[in-house]
Amino acid sequence: MAESNSVLYRQLPAIDKLLQLDEVQILVEQSGLHWVTACLREMQEQARTCISQFGKLPAWHDDWLKELSVRHQTLGQSALKSVFNLTGTVLHTNLGRAVMPTSAINAVSQVMNSPVTLEYSLDGAMRGHRDRAIADLLCELTGAEDACIVNNNAAAVLLLLATVANGQQVIVSRGELVEIGGAFRVPDVMAQAGCQLVEVGTTNRTHLRDYENAINEQTALLMKVHTSNYSIEGFTAEVEGDELAELGKKYQLPTAIDLGSGSMIDMITLGLPAEPMPQTYLAQGVDLVSISADKLLGGPQAGIILGKKKWIEAIQKHPLKRALRVDKMVLAALEATLKLYLTPEKLVTELPTLRWLTREPEVIQRSAENILVALQAFYGDKFIVEVESCLSQIGSGSLPIDRLPSFAVTFAPLDGKGSTLEQLASQWRRLPQPVIGRMKEGKLWLDLRCLDDEHALLQVLLS
């Protein structure tokens, strides 16, 4: 064994010999000597492992140049690949949440292409900070006195707490100590902001008197957190925004709500599950409300703090704001997204998130039926391919129990084997534009809610 292995090791080409070949020199010119050498070393390392573990040469040993050129092609691809999101989760955090409206895409490419008046006033009147123009738009849309824009809602909550309550106590209901996926936990954020969390009430019931009894001279803020991704059912009680605002006034304490997603339009009017609106809480007198820009709002990743001028001005001046501020691309995308809200009747056609969320099940069914026959012809020898009804999710911290009726093309392996299904999913993940579905009940489901181009999908699935 060891002896025959040494024969194999001797067959591995020397890297300096390979580097002299014309074909390899072309790659060196394109991507540099460093990359090509590193890639050849890696191939040699892999070939050695293959010999030591399996006593044979790797399959690509016949043609090192071809293998090198394949690896070179993958180098040229972006790490952020476009995919078909057919998971049935519209705002999929791992797939980048909201897809931008065309107006935002155009606005971003414009500000990328030339210097812009980010913090420069053409009329000489200094407007202060980079959020100014978009803060004005946010005020118009929500009735807030002022606004602040940061990297995401986690940053918004951190900055808000650090400004309003550093070194002091923040009162929060025990039923609202939320954890959002990706390590956002209310108690941890409090600690990072230098605040002391004071939990009041019980898991299922918190009353206004619980907040009131906890107030002392150390108290700096009364806070509510929207329980975005879970719901407590049954014998429950929570303190509403207006009650909290009134209590704050009585004790001259600020109030804040981390709303998570929030929606700037009433979801019910679109036939969707209700989602609290920042406008409502601001009108009730809550001082500060924070939301994400890339959840139901449908914009770029950002966090928005809306509220009273006095507090927003303090937040804008806090040293952390400099670390958490957004760049011109995010501001441009956010401005274009928010402008769509000035004409709400256009939202469901122009904002992809709301267009997909409001898509009628019959329309999705028709789309599934349009591509069914071609998929059956191509995959029918190994899979039962059918159109079936299913339920989509909004995603990104919306209630998992709020489901939207939808339709999927499903693939069930004729041999009944999970491995056959896994192979199919893995084959689709390796496509030039990967197709991401969902495994459920021994089938692979392609929920077509977020599919805009049937033809493009067929082109990759039938290749």
Ligand X SMILES: *Cc1c(COP(=O)(O)O)cnc(C)c1O
Query: Applying CB under 6 A, which residues contact ligand X?
Result: 152-154, 178, 180, 184, 225-226, 228, 258, 260-261, 292, 303, 397
When the beta carbons of 184 and 281 are compared against ligand X, the nearer one is: 184
Task: Give the C-alpha separation, 348 to 356, whole Å.
Answer: 8
Q: Shortest approach of ligand X to residue 302 CB, angstroms?
A: 8
When the beta carbons of 292 and 367 are compared against ligand X, the nearer one is: 292
Q: Shortest approach of ligand X to residue 186 CB, angstroms?
A: 8
8-state DSSP, 237: B
**Strand residue runs (E) in 219-367:** 219-225, 255-260, 288-292, 303-307
When the beta carbons of 39 and 399 are compared against ligand X, the nearer one is: 399
Task: Give the C-alpha separation, 408 to 193, whole Å.
Answer: 45
User: Quick check: helix, strand or coil at residue 200?
Assistant: strand
232: enclosing H helix or E strand: none
Using CB atoms, what's the residue nearest to ligand X? 260
Q: Shortest approach of ligand X to residue 301 CB, angstroms?
A: 7
When the beta carbons of 278 and 303 are compared against ligand X, the nearer one is: 303
Q: Shortest approach of ligand X to residue 162 CB, angstroms?
A: 15
When the beta carbons of 241 and 260 are compared against ligand X, the nearer one is: 260
Q: Extract the tokens encoding 115.
A: 């210097």
Q: Extract the tokens encoding 149.
A: 């824009």
Q: Is the dihedral of CA 210, 284, 292, 326 positive or negative?
A: negative
**401 Cβ neighbours under 8 A, 6+ residues apart:** 231
When the beta carbons of 130 and 295 are compared against ligand X, the nearer one is: 295
Task: Give the C-alpha separation, 442 to 127, whole Å.
Answer: 59
Taking Cα atoms as reference points, which of 165, 171, 218 lies closest to residue 199? 171
Q: Shortest approach of ligand X to residue 456 CB, angstroms?
A: 29
Q: Shortest approach of ligand X to residue 461 CB, angstroms?
A: 32
Task: Give the C-alpha separation, 42 to 37, whole Å.
Answer: 9
When the beta carbons of 290 and 367 are compared against ligand X, the nearer one is: 290
When the beta carbons of 222 and 409 are compared against ligand X, the nearer one is: 222
Contact by Cβ (8 Å): 9, 51: yes
What does residue 280 show for φ and ψ, rounded to 5 degrees? -60, -50
Q: Shortest approach of ligand X to residue 183 CB, angstroms?
A: 10
Q: Please provide the size of the chain in residues.
A: 463
Task: Give the C-alpha separation, 225 to 232, whole Å.
Answer: 14
Angle between helices 309-317 and 153-165 (to 10 degrees): 100
When the beta carbons of 324 and 448 are compared against ligand X, the nearer one is: 324
Task: Give the C-alpha separation, 377 to 164, whole Å.
Answer: 63
Taking Cα atoms as reference points, which of 221, 283, 281 lies closest to residue 254? 221
When the beta carbons of 40 and 326 are compared against ligand X, the nearer one is: 326
Task: Give the C-alpha separation, 172 to 215, whole Å.
Answer: 11
Q: Shortest approach of ligand X to residue 264 CB, angstroms?
A: 15
Q: Shortest approach of ligand X to residue 262 CB, angstroms?
A: 9
Task: Give the C-alpha separation, 253 to 221, whole Å.
Answer: 6
Q: Based on the number of CB atoms within 10 Å of its own CB, is 208 exposed (0-12), middle (13-18) or buried (19 or more)?
A: middle
Q: Shortest approach of ligand X to residue 314 CB, angstroms?
A: 21
When the beta carbons of 281 and 445 are compared against ligand X, the nearer one is: 281
When the beta carbons of 154 and 368 are compared against ligand X, the nearer one is: 154
Q: Shortest approach of ligand X to residue 292 CB, angstroms?
A: 3
Q: Shortest approach of ligand X to residue 260 CB, angstroms?
A: 2
288, β-bridge pairs = 256, 307
Q: What DSSP assignment string belongs to 54-72?
A: HSS--GGGGGHHHHHHHHH
